[in-house]
Amino acid sequence: MSVNTYNFSARELAVEARGDHQRIDNFLFNLLKGVPRSHIYRIVRKGEVRVNGGRVKADYRLRTGDRVRVPPMRLAERAVSERPKGRALDILERSILFQDDRILAINKPAGMAVHGGSGLSWGVIEGLRQIFPKDRDLELVHRLDRDTSGCLLVTKHRSTLRTLHDLLRRGAVEKRYTALLGGRLERERIDVRAALAKNVLQGGERVVRVDEQGKAARTSFRRIESVRDATLVEARPFTGRTHQIRVHAAYLGAPILGDEKYGRAAANRMWKALGLRRLFLHAASLRWEWPGESLPLTIMAPLPDELSNVLENAHGSI
């Protein structure tokens, strides 16, 4: 296998208008072509990348005029293909729900990461850039966990990305998920307001926990139906914290079925016998109004057959 050598000298760059509100990790991906994403995340995490003289996290959003210092790098990495194969591209192309001149929405399959990194050579965004090579500014608007399926938005222009990020910050994008919780909810509606904080375990695994010192988080759960000893719910997150719905469901004492990180092993095993082989969490819809336009846009993603079949099996076994 061939070896690629990447040699970059230290540099400091000023962020131009077209980079305004872009995440620092995406900025570096575009700047450091050929450098493995895992290495880019590493130098950000270690504080070797500086913005206006200070350390930042990978999700820091740049502003016009920010000064970004990138450290010198000389790497030798085994060449790996970062291009998804034909079958994966076919699956991705069939998953497209909607597109126009501003956005592209897909029904992200469970098990597919939204972007490469952390040992993955590619994800949804790399695949879409290969499918639509003429759309040079495709960018993720938000993220979904790898094991979560459903509505995922991608923009075709920087200006659209800034608009949608502003709407997200103001809570003007309504997100609704479908989840199957391992337990019965006594009330039809439950509103969870519990702050969340990220933690890293000794082995390096990242987990999120309810912590009053963490960031404010709110999720509303609405019961759709009870199925055996579980509850099918619509979950609406009003904030966008990592693993928010999963942690808030566990906080209620009814973790999402199929959740190996925050769930219960015994319940997961029982539902696996009914065909559940993944996390039962699906991003069902997104709804917002473009500034200056009166009609809202709603994107809906049908529940995957693999999850619908689990519900049918559960009803049939009662």
Residues 99-145 have pLDDT tens digits of: 999 999 999 999 998 887 655 667 899 999 999 999 989 999 999 99
pLDDT of the residue at 1: 40
Would you identify the CATH topology of the domain 3-78? Answer: 3.10.290
For residue 147, is pLDDT > 60? yes
Predicted confidence (pLDDT) per residue in 199-247, tens digit: 876 566 778 999 999 999 999 999 999 998 999 999 999 999 999 999 9
pLDDT of the residue at 215: 94
Which run of H or of E encompasses 44?
helix 37-45
> Strand 54-55 vs strand 50-51: parallel, antiparallel, or unpaired?
antiparallel
According to DSSP, the residues that pair with 298 across neighbouring strands are 287
CB 259 within 8 A of CB 269: no
Q: What is the CATH number of domain 86-165?
A: 3.30.2350.10
Mean pLDDT computed over every residue of the chain? 89
pLDDT of the residue at 255: 98
Distance CA 155, CA 141 (A): 7
Q: For 171-316, give the CATH class.
A: alpha beta
Choice among 59, 101, 137, 145 that is catalytic = 145
Amino acid (1-letter code) at residue 76: A
Please state which of the ranges 20-34, 244-258, 301-315 shows the lowest mean pLDDT. Answer: 20-34
Nearest to 211 by CA among 226, 195, 222, 200: 195
Predicted confidence (pLDDT) per residue in 36-84, tens digit: 777 888 899 999 999 999 999 988 999 888 999 999 877 554 444 456 6
Distance CA 79, CA 299 (A): 38
CB 124 within 8 A of CB 107: no
Domain with CATH 3.10.290.10 in the chain: 3-78
- In the DSSP assignment, the letter for residue 108 is E
Q: What Rg, from alpha-carbon coordinates, does the chain have?
A: 21
- Concerning whether 66 is annotated as a catalytic residue, the answer is no
- Is the model's pTM score more than 0.95? no
Distance CA 192, CA 38 (A): 35
CA 241 from centre of chain: 10
Half-sphere exposure of 227 (CA within 13 A, CB side): 22
For residue 17, is pLDDT > 90? no
Distance CA 104, CA 141 (A): 10
Nearest to 281 by CA among 248, 312, 303: 303
Region for 13 from its dihedrals, namely left if φ exceeds 0, alpha if ψ lies in -120 to 50, beta otherwise: beta
